[in-house]
């Protein structure tokens, strides 16, 4: 079994942002030489998340609006007394910082409407993305 790790950085430009990183992950998978196994996509951050969903421009706004609706940035969160980003921690905790995708024949088994999306919740920042490919 091979284990391959690739890391890249995404520079976000606004506080809330959705970045389609599918191509970057696919490049990492290609260079891994692994054909069958699993791909883990992970952000080592507490205020960003990884989603597997449609890269449609209206939905990009909807994802952000959903976060603002569910984790209201202006609410009286206790964490905001020391750091003004409680909403980002809470949304990242619920959505999750990683996704696992099966790999078969060198292709990630994504659905047609499943792109790999980095969700910035407290930008702008430089976000590390770790892609680990394991298999044969």
Interface ranges with Zn ion (CB under 5 A)? 83, 85
CB closer to Zn ion out of 9 and 84: 84
> How many whole angstroms separate alpha carbon 109 and alpha carbon 105?
9
Compute the least distance from the CB of residue 54 to Zn ion, in Å: 29
Taking the CA atoms of residue 6, residue 12, residue 15 and residue 18 in that order, the dihedral angle to the nearest 10 degrees is -70
> How many whole angstroms separate alpha carbon 18 and alpha carbon 121?
9
Compute the least distance from the CB of residue 84 to Zn ion, in Å: 8
Compute the least distance from the CB of residue 89 to Zn ion, in Å: 5
- List the strands of the sheet with 48-53, edge to edge: 17-20, 115-120, 48-53
CB closer to Zn ion out of 2 and 79: 79
CB closer to Zn ion out of 12 and 85: 85
Compute the least distance from the CB of residue 44 to Zn ion, in Å: 15
Compute the least distance from the CB of residue 115 to Zn ion, in Å: 28
> How many whole angstroms separate alpha carbon 14 and alpha carbon 127?
12
Name the residue whose CB lies closest to Zn ion. 83
CB closer to Zn ion out of 14 and 112: 14
CB closer to Zn ion out of 121 and 129: 121
| Helix and strand numbers, DSSP H then E, in the chain | 3, 8
Distance of CA 3 to the CA centre of its chain: 21
């Amino acid at each position: 079994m091979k284990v391959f790790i690739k890391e890249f950085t995404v520079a976000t430009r606004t506080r809330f942002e959705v970045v389609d990183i599918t191509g970057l992950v696919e490049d990492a998978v290609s260079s891994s030489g692994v054909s069958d196994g699993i791909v883990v996509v992970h952000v080592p951050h507490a205020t960003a998340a990884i989603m597997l969903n449609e890269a449609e421009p209206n939905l990009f706004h909807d994802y952000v609006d959903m976060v603002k609706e569910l984790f209201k940035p202006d609410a009286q969160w206790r964490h905001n007394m020391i750091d003004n980003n409680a909403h980002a921690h809470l949304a990242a905790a619920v959505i999750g910082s990683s996704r696992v995708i099966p790999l078969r024949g060198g292709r990630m088994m994504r659905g047609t409407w499943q792109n790999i999306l980095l969700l910035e919740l407290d930008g702008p920042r430089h976000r590390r993305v770790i892609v680990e490919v394991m298999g044969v």
